[in-house]
């Protein structure tokens, strides 16, 4: 079938051929009079698939010619084309989206003008920066129109990995911390020890704070700071016996862990949501979070606390998602701001 390059679009003039192309894949936009207007993405794919011939200036253009032409007039075209091509080869109807999102993808069996699109897709290079703020803006756009957001990340070998992105509100089954008993503890370098057996049992028995050492209890700095602020823990220096204020505890903790305040804010928010929160160090994250008794169930979430303006490289994000998937947990980025902690879940997805 023959078409002509006109500006940055491709037009099929023959009404019969235009109808055939449109009806077998919903390529292009039908025009008054029976012609079909294709965007350069669709035309390149059809030429590569040997379903269309495109002419310009009396010469036939190959798929490579179209790719080079599109690269000149549309920045990042070759990256988006790889995603478009891959989705089309999977059998999906794909249409261009509204920037900054690249494509609207329809469910199998669906079609434009009859079926709502299922996903909005952003094509991304593995070398690009992961910008959480921009990601949330795109996610909100899709949620406003009841779509799902897919990130299509293209690696240097042109393979595409898809990530589904969701806002998540984690929720556990625990109630408020018991404040009827103030517990004494001592700070030793980077950890806290509760020596009284009854005090240790009181803290560990309700919210599973700390790690038991016989009849004693060892708390992390984050747990200790949380309990001191709550009024459930009275802390003293192990060497001098002098009482320690919350400000002193936090100052010491920042010296050991510069992002301590960020992590503490995320910890406090998760505790307010009824979760049991433990360190996620062995899984390469800040926290692991349980919905109930950690002795009876596995952690559901791995949580990484990040600042409001968090940016990273995609390989870092890919590793975190892959690791969480490998241990059957959900990875959450807890975006900490002065107003709230927002949780963003990411998982690999095969459309």
Residues forming the active site: 290, 298, 329
Tell me how crowded residue 231 is: count the other CB atoms within 10 A of its CB: 11
Cα separation, 209 vs 191, whole angstroms: 13
Cα separation, 217 vs 118, whole angstroms: 51
**301 membership: H or E segment, kind and range:** strand 301-307
Cα separation, 227 vs 200, whole angstroms: 13
User: How far is Cα of residue 43 from the mean position of the Cα atoms in its chain?
Assistant: 32
User: How far is Cα of residue 58 from the mean position of the Cα atoms in its chain?
Assistant: 48
Of residues 307, 301, 250, 309, the one with CA closest to residue 275: 301
Query: Which two structure tokens, joined as six digits, stand for 165?
Result: 């992105």
Residue pair 119/322 in contact (Cβ under 8 Å)? The answer is: no
Cα separation, 180 vs 230, whole angstroms: 11
β-pairing, 191-194 with 183-188?
Answer: antiparallel
Q: Which residues contact 227 (CB under 8 A, 6 or more apart)?
A: 177, 183, 203, 209, 219, 233
């Amino acid at each position: 079938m023959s078409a002509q390059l006109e500006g940055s679009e491709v037009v099929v003039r023959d009404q019969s051929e235009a109808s055939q192309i449109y009806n077998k894949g919903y390529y292009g936009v039908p025009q008054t009079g029976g012609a079909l207007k294709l965007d350069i993405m669709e035309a390149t794919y059809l030429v590569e698939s040997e379903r269309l011939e495109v002419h310009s200036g009396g010469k036939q253009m190959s798929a490579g010619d179209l790719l080079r032409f599109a690269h000149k007039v549309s920045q990042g075209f070759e990256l988006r084309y790889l995603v478009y091509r891959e989705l089309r080869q999977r059998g999906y109807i794909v249409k261009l989206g509204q920037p900054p999102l690249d494509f609207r993808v329809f469910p199998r069996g669906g079609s434009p003008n009859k079926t709502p699109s299922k996903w909005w897709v952003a094509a991304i290079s593995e070398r690009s920066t992961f910008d959480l703020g921009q990601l949330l803006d795109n996610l909100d756009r899709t949620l406003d129109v009841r779509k799902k957001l897919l990130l299509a990340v293209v690696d240097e070998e042109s393979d595409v990995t898809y990530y589904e992105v969701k806002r998540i509100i984690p929720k556990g089954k625990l109630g408020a911390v018991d404040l009827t008993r103030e517990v004494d503890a001592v700070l030793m370098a980077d950890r806290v020890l509760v020596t009284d057996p009854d005090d240790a049992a009181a803290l560990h028995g309700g919210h599973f704070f700390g790690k038991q050492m016989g009849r004693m209890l060892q708390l992390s700095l984050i747990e200790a700071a949380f309990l001191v602020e709550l009024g459930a823990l009275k802390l003293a220096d192990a060497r001098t016996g002098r009482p320690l204020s919350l400000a002193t505890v936090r100052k010491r903790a920042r010296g050991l862990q510069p992002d301590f305040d960020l992590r503490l804010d995320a910890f406090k928010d998760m505790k307010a949501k009824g979760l049991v929160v433990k360190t996620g160090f062995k899984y390469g994250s800040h926290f692991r979070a349980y919905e109930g008794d950690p002795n009876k169930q596995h952690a559901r979430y791995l949580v990484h606390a990040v600042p409001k303006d968090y940016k990273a490289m995609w390989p870092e994000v890919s590793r975190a998602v892959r690791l969480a998937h490998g241990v059957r947990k959900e990875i959450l980025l807890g975006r900490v701001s002065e107003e709230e902690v927002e949780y963003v879940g990411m998982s690999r997805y095969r459309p």
